[in-house]
Structure 1
């Protein structure tokens, strides 16, 4: 069984595209450079409609412009960096993303904003979103909430290559059902569920929004999971779960590092927006959201969605259920500002990649605290789930700020939604007269 269509794209630089504010045309046929990048073959998607094919044929040629964003360029309006559109999505918007060691791509399509009828977890295969690990688990059904996937949001791989996902358990317009919110661990090769840990009160609240997760296999006999509950209300917290026992607890629920900041102001698509807790939000807001581990899992980095600040904690304390909230609070380390980040991800060198929904970009925080602009483009709208392979960074673009709930009931999203990737290290520049870099 398959669900949805995914436009697989040939390799092409997105740097300096003068049409960068416009999404790609419907039904375009592209070849994916998956074989070169990931070592696996991907069949191109055939144009689905004659109209789409004609639209593609009639599209104006894309003319590359010199990069101007930067120290000596303009004020940040021009595209910068090179990225590839890996896939286009119609229907549900994408959120979490994971790329396995052998190049398989998995994407989550949560149902908390729109209770869609498609797969909530899928693998990208030959231009299709295939429900994974099965249609019975990923598609809507009458099975008990504990026995199926309700709303897959954040995703990650552990150091053993297993896929972990947070099922936030929320269907738009419906209250939580018992067993709906859970932590899932799946074997990538077989699709077998290794662990399914149902989240319960008091770790789970009626307004919880279990958003993202990271898995630490250095603490606990079978590992420890750290979940960010950004909250659909005003009750965010970090949730710590011991895999072996299923023991779970909320921590730092009242700590400032976890909370959305009152009066926080952001400019999204040119519109200045201010967060006030007692007012209906007009943009995506929440408490602790992005989480990521250091390469050796000794620190957890985290940030609230409605904040510009980055914090960290030693996992030796965080994973210890005997450590009090006061002791954890005393160990919180302020790491400086990181911009308006949603998702966070760490590469093997310990550099942290932060999505930025205010400037339509993705930044990299180096280990010395300095930042680099990796990619910037008007199409990088609501960058959300982010994942690092040894060579590339992948990120989903869900257009979440355009949801009807933030725009007086008007859905302003314009499919397709995108999955993009860009190289961690700069692409070598060649010159026939002088070799690499002249």
Structure 2
């Protein structure tokens, strides 16, 4: 079994002191490792960059390592167990092989768990430098109780496009015989949308593809690591895209989402979104614009219905409460392009992908500084949870 060098930690401060200087500086320009909030480095990965993160109720930790930016030869889905990455659900599915695309994991991106604690992932199907092969992009469900695949739903046209970038997903067990998956397609082009998948039947459709809530904002400006950057579809200088961040409300009655190249938060009732008979006009009329937040690549929800926001422009993770107030959970110069985010009962977990440092956004120079960090920060109890 192939192992990846990594550092596992029990406390952020202790690990930061123990890590070599390069690891302490990972994700920074200045090398400053002093945190402005409480967070713990769970692991530091020296190989491929992480994206998706999911934690089961029993505490099992799963990490996704997509291949759309680097067509690496390591596991694309792995369980972090005692400081070691174990290909999951097994090496045959997670490592590169000659098996047909629909029978293996190509490029695991967003991840989540459902209300029964089962693991779900979106396979974006993309290998760097190659077109997406038929059968490669799919929704995958795995039951950690048995470590068996319980669902494989290949995404097909017209729900799937040649330029699709199936980025993240959430699974709602309150709609459909076996649940409904909502997928954010941020697009490798400029055609973002939401994709709705009935897990029992595999029925799927692409929705809100022409709606402002799924599209990148023209002229959008971002400030990343002190650099003001303007969205230019022809010459991107930072990761851009349509519908990207996605999360369910605590009771699964609403889906919250946002384009990557945007600071606005939108939502729609799942009663409407999961209804395959709803027209585009009805769906568009059901979208609620909640106003500005921050630029996000990931959203997560806790049991008190608070939303956690990755805030790459601020080197931070932020929290939006139901009353509309927003606070900083943690801010630190090592939090460079926070990506996948997951809230369990006690902590918020986040992968730091450094995706804005990829060569394609920096004149061909790879500015990433491995190792790539997986961090977590405590959830402060709310009155609803006390």
The interval holding the TM-score normalised by the smaller chain is over 0.9
Q: Distance in 2 between matches of 1:313 and 1:220?
A: 17
| Residue 85 in structure 1 maps to residue 41 in structure 2 | yes
- Out of 254, 274, 290, the residue aligned to residue 335 of structure 1 is 290
2:264 aligned partner: 309
* Higher mean displacement: 92-101 or 417-426: 417-426
Q: Secondary structure at the match of 1:358?
A: helix
| Residue 273 in structure 1 maps to residue 229 in structure 2 | yes
CA contact (8 A) 1:152 1:167 kept: yes
Q: Secondary structure at the match of 1:150?
A: coil
CA contact (8 A) 2:300 2:307 kept: yes
Q: Distance in 1 between matches of 2:3 and 2:277?
A: 46
- Out of 132, 142, 148, the residue aligned to residue 176 of structure 1 is 132
The count of aligned residue pairs is 375
Highest Rg: 1 or 2? 1
| Residue 165 in structure 1 maps to residue 121 in structure 2 | yes
CA contact (8 A) 1:23 1:379 kept: no
1:55 aligned partner: none
CA displacement, residues 132-187 of structure 1 (integer Å, 9 cap, x when unaligned): 11000000000000000000000000001100000000000001111100000001
CA displacement, residues 258-303 of structure 1 (integer Å, 9 cap, x when unaligned): 10000000110111000022x2201011001010000110000000
Q: Distance in 2 between matches of 1:389 and 1:6?
A: 23
1:409 aligned partner: 364
TM-score, L = length of structure 2: 0.94
Q: Which runs of 5+ in 1 are unaligned?
A: 27-59, 65-78, 427-438
CA contact (8 A) 1:5 1:127 kept: no
CA displacement, residues 228-272 of structure 1 (integer Å, 9 cap, x when unaligned): 000000111000000111100000000011100000001101110
Task: List structure 1 segments (4+ residues) > 4 angstroms apart after TM superposition.
Answer: none
Q: Distance in 2 between matches of 1:290 and 1:407?
A: 24
Q: For residues 26-425 of structure 1, what are the structure 2 equivalents within 5 Å?
A: 79-277=35-233, 279-425=234-380
Q: Distance in 1 between matches of 2:323 and 2:232?
A: 34
| Residue 12 in structure 1 maps to residue 12 in structure 2 | yes
Q: Distance in 1 between matches of 2:42 and 2:291?
A: 32
Q: Distance in 2 between matches of 1:63 and 1:254?
A: 43
Q: Distance in 2 between matches of 1:184 and 1:257?
A: 26
Question: Following TM superposition, by how much is the alpha carbon of 1:13 offset from its aligned partner in structure 2, in angstroms?
Answer: 4.1
Q: Distance in 1 between matches of 2:11 and 2:133?
A: 43
Where relative contact order (Cα < 8 A, 6+ residues apart) is larger, the structure is 2
Q: Secondary structure at the match of 2:375?
A: strand
Question: Following TM superposition, by how much is the alpha carbon of 1:9 offset from its aligned partner in structure 2, in angstroms?
Answer: 1.4
CA contact (8 A) 1:95 1:396 kept: yes
Q: Distance in 2 between matches of 1:240 and 1:104?
A: 28
Q: Distance in 1 between matches of 2:33 and 2:98?
A: 51
CA contact (8 A) 1:3 1:119 kept: no
2:384 aligned partner: none
CA displacement, residues 343-374 of structure 1 (integer Å, 9 cap, x when unaligned): 00000000000001111100000010110100
CA contact (8 A) 2:44 2:371 kept: yes
CA displacement, residues 365-401 of structure 1 (integer Å, 9 cap, x when unaligned): 0010110100001100010000011110000001101
CA contact (8 A) 1:85 1:421 kept: yes
Q: Distance in 1 between matches of 2:33 and 2:127?
A: 43
Q: Distance in 1 between matches of 2:118 and 2:199?
A: 14
TM-score, L = length of structure 1: 0.83
Q: Secondary structure at the match of 1:86?
A: strand
Q: Which runs of 5+ in 2 are unaligned?
A: 382-386
Question: Following TM superposition, by how much is the alpha carbon of 1:22 offset from its aligned partner in structure 2, in angstroms?
Answer: 6.5
CA contact (8 A) 2:51 2:353 kept: yes
CA displacement, residues 34-68 of structure 1 (integer Å, 9 cap, x when unaligned): xxxxxxxxxxxxxxxxxxxxxxxxxx9x997xxxx
Give the CA RMSD over aligned residues: 2.1
CA contact (8 A) 1:24 1:416 kept: no
Q: Secondary structure at the match of 1:3?
A: coil
2:2 aligned partner: 2
